[in-house]
Structure 1
Amino acid sequence: MIDKTQLYIDGTWTDGVEGRRMPVINPATEEEAATAAVGTAADCDRAIAAARRAFDSGPWPTMNRIERSELLGRFADELRARLDSLAAAITLETGAPSATVRPVHLLAPLAHLDYYVEQARAPEVTTLPLQVNPRPDGTSWLGGSAQVREPVGVVSAITAYNFPFHLNVAKLGPALACGNTVVLKPSPNTPLTAALMAEAAEAAGFPPGVVNVVNGGADVGALMCTDPRVDLVSFTGSEAVGAAVAAQAAPTIKRVLLELGGKSAMIVRSDADLGAAITMGLGSVMTQSGQGCALTTRHLVHADIYDDYVSGLADRVRAIRLGDPADPSTSMGPLISAAQREKVEGFVDDARAAGSTLVTGGGRPDFARGFFVEPTVFADVDNSTRLAQEEVFGPVAAVMSFRDDDEAIAIANDSNYGLGGAIFSADAGRAFEMARRIRTGQVHINGGSGASPGWDPFGGYKRSGLGRELGEAGIADYSEIKTIKYHAG
């Protein structure tokens, strides 16, 4: 499946200065499936030095934009040539059902990378309007200016385990398109996916030091955030770690991009297509076993259709086929680890104690092995409870009712997070007006557009993060803007 499980630093593969290895655990079997090299702060120091050198004196940041785009395109081609290996690695590492890996975990992010291939070709210099300036003698002179987009420099990219390929592409794509160099630290749970991406980068022919991959723990992450040679930190993960990343980066005044947690609300009005709403509600439970930051885990349903929604959702959730993610008939796999399973079970216990009604699920399936939990639906949830306010990162839905649109919007906004959201209504215009009032980075109306194109920016309000991925906003976050003023005559 994969030939290299080492660190990739300055264009070479290495076991690291201490030669340590870590196990890669299959969450469906709890067995060691492979091992991968573990880097230390010393290895990370070498990677940062390589990235700094590649940016300051290498050909990459000053490369012709067409050449850079072509190289990024070769990277996309090399990734596509490894689709089978990537799919197998993602299922093994994350427990993602094999039937969903290609369309969700691989093909959609590759389409995003194609967008960045095109964006790399965009002109770096934009001429701004000319201005006629009067002189005291009554004559005038012509002045002008140009806006120049330049790379930020060395980028530290730190990613999570739930959608490893997507998250790595979301950082490597815009960073490289703008001419930055990158040190990538993947989740310790998903080193195989990252190694395959490094292998593709090597085959594509990036100059040494442009792409570096270092597995490691807190010491590696801390250096990536504090080192003054790093110009930008892009992090995806929990709110708590995101706050620590921002604090570590603050003394060196480096740019910080944070894609953090969510507790997104799905509003189902009384005139909604109930079946379509239930399907999206099912996805919030089933997709990657609920381990998704933008999933709509709070279901706000109008009182007139509340009982029908709860019973319909429960029926669909009970029909979820839970099991071996390598089996094409499986629709939901395990959680990433025993610790994550215990965390989810703690939320279930708290919800019961808070008076929420357990409709279905709430326990472990009768499997001999694997970090599985049953897909779970709670009804009669109070929005002030822990289940409604904190990110579970597991297959647990919180259903609550509302009487009118203003109440629904108030409940949706009563959250520390603001990443995703959804509205179902036969009145699309009214749904659009409501979407404008919800304090969140993305809202799907009646299921959304059916796709996530590269030009759609993604990111959150409040504690869901800083900055945007994808789209022009994503390019801007990895760029510096310089204004050059000139005297035209």
Structure 2
Amino acid sequence: MERGLYVDGQWRAAAGGASADVVNPATEAVIGSAADGTAADATDAVAAAHRAFHDGRWSGLTPAERAAALRRLHRTLSDRVEDHVALSIAESGAPRGQSAAFVASGLAHLEYAIGAATADHDRMLPSPPRAAGAPPRVSASLVRRVPAGVVVAVTPFNAPLLLTLPKVAAALAMGNTVVVKPSPYTPLEILALAEAADEAGIPPGVLNVVTGGADVGAALVGDPRVGLVTFTGSDTVGAKVMAQAAGNITRVVLELGGKSALVVRADADLALASRIGAVNTTTLAGQGCALLTRHLVHRDVFADYVAALTDRLAAAVPGDPADARTTLGPLISAAHRDRVASLVRDARRRGAKAAVDGGPATVDGKGFFHEPVVLTGLGNDDPVARHEIFGPVAVVIPFGSDDEAVTLANDSPYGLAGAVVSADRVAAVAVAERLRAGRISVNDGAAADVRLPFGGFGRSGIGREFGPEGVLEYTEVQTLQW
């Protein structure tokens, strides 16, 4: 596949004429290329989105008309589900089952946004009480939700469609225009989204996709015509995005990293707890911001939990992500695989014990794989317990009481997700309510629900995605009085 930029309803080459290969991280084969955009291309895309917003070709439509256009996009994407699953497998390395779930979830968020497009988000207020002796006056106030304007969406490599389509859907539903910059590792699925939008009749300039590196992102985020920046990625890059946007006082929605805690109480079902722990270690090969990578386990069951987790991870099946039997895919690049391996080696030098001692690996001599790792013997202050590794690495730390578990869980710069496993549901909920994180599950209670907002505390981000809160992030509040 060879793809150009999608700007103002047209496919075009990058200003510099360059392109970049897209590599399958499981096979190391080049599967396509995408235009290597420039800052000039970013400027053109923002200009196109700015024109499309202000001339009313999208913002001027009625909510019902926008919803109808988004339904056409939903039908177009639904007709190509298998194509998107295949692209996810090939460019991100997510196993088939995970890729299929991510694509389905992305479509579910689009469907939710279609409903939100025609929902009533405004409030009408009657005249305030008239003071004694004041002349009568007929007046009212309307608190409106109006589009933010041009939205720039900078999205990551893991689950490309799932982490892009909800942003695009919510922004478009509320009348904004959008410029997307996908990860250079995984541009093809987002360019296919642009192709679907074009075929669905989304007007030119309403959705634009500019591929490229950090210079493209900086040009987009720093453009004064942008009304809102939404970014998903690491907290380090998120801080840079926030700084770039600050020059123009541009609003940001940041969904950043996590070092989320799985709290396993002494009465926990260890079969359930170890299954949750193993799934969170191997899903996306650990490359997920909300994965539970700090396992806080009561001392009374610590050894049994580690043994159960070890057995679970021994059953992980690394391999071709296109094979339905594969449960552990590759990391996104050789450089990232080497980074994960280096962090594990450094932890071992500091005294960590590896209950599961995985390392860099290949399948049939190819791929950027890393086997699962379970580290014990470290405190909550160790770098691998405090920083996001973004690999199949779990850190298991003991605790002695619920109070200690809560203290350890909350002693983190992050606050994206968390979970509590316990036979005592009341006690588990009591612990969950004390955790400082955006989304908490009890006994594997987390279920896919597009109505639920998602986001974090602290360095895990600003604002929310999904649900009504996520949709309204793409609006400004305006008050009309008469």
User: Shorter-chain TM-score category?
Assistant: over 0.9
Letter in 2 for 1:28: A
Q: What is residue 208 of structure 1 aligned with on the other side? A: 204
Q: How far off its partner does 1:143 sit?
A: 3.8
Aligned pairs for 1:51-450 (under 5 A) are 51-103=49-101, 105-136=102-133, 140-365=136-361, 367=363, 368-449=365-446
Contact kept? 1:380, 1:401, Cα under 8 Å: no
Letter in 2 for 1:100: Q
Q: CA deviation at 1:82?
A: 1.2
Structure-1 separation of matches of 2:107 and 2:196? 13
1:149-170 C-alpha deviation (Å, 9 max, x unpaired): 1000000100000111111112
Give the partner amino acid of 1:285. Answer: T
Q: Which runs of 5+ in 1 are unaligned?
A: none
What percentage of residue pairs aligned between the two structures are identical? 48
Give the Å deviation of 1:10: 0.2
Q: How many residues align?
A: 481
Residue in 2 that maps onto 1:26: 24
Structure 1 match to 2:463? 467
> Which of 468, 479, 482 is the equivalent residue of 1:483?
479
8 Å Cα contact 2:362-2:368 kept in structure 1:
no
Moved over 2 A (4+): 123-126, 128-132, 139-144, 364-367
1:156–1:233 CA contact under 8 A, matched in 2: yes
2:34 aligned partner, one-letter code: A
Q: TM-score, normalised by structure 2?
A: 0.97
In structure 2, C-alpha distance between the alignment counterparts of 1:357 and 1:339, rounded to whole Å: 24
Is the CA contact 2:455–2:465 (under 8 Å) kept in the aligned structure 1?
yes
Could you tell me how far apart the structure 2 residues matched to 1:216 and 1:295 are? Answer: 28
Contact 2:384 2:395 in 1 (8 A): yes
Q: What corresponds to 1:6 in structure 2? A: 4
Judge conservation of contact 1:302–1:402 (CA < 8 Å) in 2.
yes
**CA distance in structure 1 between the aligned counterparts of 2:377 and 2:339, rounded to whole angstroms:** 22
User: Could you tell me how far apart the structure 1 residues matched to 2:57 and 2:228 are?
Assistant: 20
Distance 1:125 1:398 in 2: 47
- CA deviation vs aligned residue, 1:216-275 (integer Å, no higher than 9, x gap): 112211111111011111111111111111111111011011111100000011111211
Task: Tell me by how many angstroms 1:135 deviates.
Answer: 4.6
Name the CA distance, whole Å, in 2 between partners of 1:462 and 1:250: 18
Does structure 1 conserve the Cα–Cα contact (< 8 Å) formed by 2:337 and 2:360? no
User: How far apart are the structure 2 equivalents of 1:88 and 1:50?
Assistant: 31
TM-score, normalization by structure 1: 0.96
Range with bigger deviation, 363-372 or 155-164 = 363-372
Measured in 1, the distance between the counterparts of 2:249 and 2:443 equals 42
1:65-122 deviations in whole A, cap 9, x for unaligned? 011111111111111111111111111101111132112x111121111110100011
Amino acid at match of 2:391: G
Q: Deviations over 1:437-484 (max 9, x none)?
A: 1111110111024x2211100001000100000111111211011111
Deviation at 1:140, TM superposition (A): 4.5
Letter of the 2:264 counterpart: V
Q: Give me the whole-angstrom Cα distance separating, in 2, the residues matched to 1:124 and 1:96.
A: 37
